[in-house]
Amino acid sequence: MKDILNTSVLSKRWSYIWYLMRDFKFDMLNVLGSEETLLEKGYIVDVTEKRYEFSDASRNEYVKIVDQIIKNFKGTEIDSFMVEFSMKQENSSTIDQWITFAVLRGVKRIDLLFGFDYDGYYKFPFGLFSKFDNSKLKHMQLRYCLVYQETSFEILPLTNLRSLILEDSKVDEIFLKTLLHDCHLLEELSLIRCDINTSILNIESSSLCLLKLEFCTLKGYNLHTDRLWINTPALKSIHFRAYCTIEETAKIFPLIATLPQLEILNLYIPNTPDFINYLNREDFTLENLKELNLIYGPREYNFDISWLSIILQASPILQKLSVMITSPMVSTHLPAIRDVRTFSHCEIKIIELGGCVGNFYEIEITLNALKYFHKLERIVLSPYWINEFLDQGLKCDPTWSQSGRERILEELHGKGIGLDKLVLV
């Protein structure tokens, strides 16, 4: 983006070509340069796990360059507008001007991804959209923003909005109600680590197809199933991760059983050997569920496939099962590998196990799946796992490469099963 201004002065022809740009991406790399360049110039004063802390000089330079590009741009239409940088509250009026620039040109996607060290929350100017007829905005992602409506009588002027992602933001109850009531084309809603100003989270929509709720709080208290109400008949996919007790986590199954179109479930399950005690097979049936993705952990030594069997029996047309164990460790206690005939299924084609290190439960799941999953096409065992709380990418335990694969193959050898469907990553 910085080079755009420089090349525009080289010739009369080039000075107009950049007006045809439709996508504006103002992140660190495109505006200021690489991490090495920033370190050399002293723009980065701290680097911890890729969470940059920028100097005031770097922030001033960033604002100056973005301002120059916006003020010199003569194009009439743009498709996307992204700001990804560590801004301050003193820059709020400048950001308002940038948003105005984008809205005036019929922007279809806005991403405001502010840094973790933002001193407060940027108040997103929804009222700005009411000044322009027929907003074209379809997709929006906000991070570290204050998101709310002044009154419940306001109409949210985002009639074309399809997806909204809110991260690390403060969200008002009135805004959510207005959003779900007024935005009839909204299909995807993600609330990630948000503090929502309500006691009961009511998600009621006739259009919503994908819902993601991840580690949110309601008035400062952790969101759990007793404080969640969902009435979304068109919902096909739900992603739910929360700081819940195991009893509260188990209640998610009867809750989602009320969603007639649900096909995909992503769920975080806290570490406990007693999960089976909180599952009642008669409480729920997941008639249309086709894909189940579970993150389980951390450091579970005694994974019991019995509770997993209950969920499978309640999901008659399930086709894909994925289970990831976080922070895996090799168990020193090795129970006998069981032949669990109730661990069976007629439709599952793909099984994926993540966080494998060669533990007994990995062998037990593999053995029984190969014997009793009648349509199984492949079962993939991988050492890779993710931190269930932090987005730090995939991790891998060296135990797998040293002995994990050999241990599993040795245990499965001579069990009277074919291993052609087994994939060891």
* DSSP secondary structure letters along 337-395: PP--TTS-BSS--EEEEES-SS-HHHHHHHHHHHHHBTT--EEEE--EEE-SSS---EE
| CA–CA separation, 251 and 267 (whole Å) | 12
Contact yes or no for 292/353 (Cβ under 8 A): no
Q: What is the pTM of this model?
A: 0.90
| Residue 209 pLDDT | 98
Q: Strand 378-381 relative to strand 139-143: parallel, antiparallel, unpaired?
A: unpaired
Domain membership of residue 144 (yes or no) is: no
- The set of residues, in sequence order, having a beta carbon less than 8 Å from that of 17 and lying 6+ positions away, is none
Q: Could you give the CA distance from residue 246 to residue 416 in angstroms, rounded to a whole number?
A: 37
Is 370 a domain residue?
yes
What pLDDT sits at residue 142? 96
Residue at 4 is within a domain: no
Q: Whose CA is closest to 187, among 140, 152, 123, 241?
A: 140
Among 21-30, 83-92, 207-216, top mean pLDDT goes to 207-216
Q: Judge whether 407 lies within some domain.
A: yes
Question: What are the residues whose beta carbons fall under 8 Å from the beta carbon of 349, sequence distance 6 or more?
Answer: 319, 320, 375, 376, 377, 378
356: confidence class by pLDDT, cuts 50, 70, 90 = very high
pLDDT in the model for residue 395? 86
Confidence of residue 20 (pLDDT cuts 50, 70, 90): confident
The verdict on residue 191 lying in a domain is no
Count how many Cα atoms sit within 13 Å of the Cα of residue 105 in the half-sphere of its side chain: 25
**Mean pLDDT along residues 120-140:** 83
Contacts of 25 (CB under 8 A, 6+ apart): 1, 80, 82, 84
Task: Please count the structural domains in the chain.
Answer: 1
Range of the domain at 326: 265-425
In a domain, 293, yes or no: yes
Task: Give CA–CA dist 359/301, Å, rounded.
Answer: 8
Residue 392 lies in a domain: yes
Assess if residue 62 is contained within a domain.
no
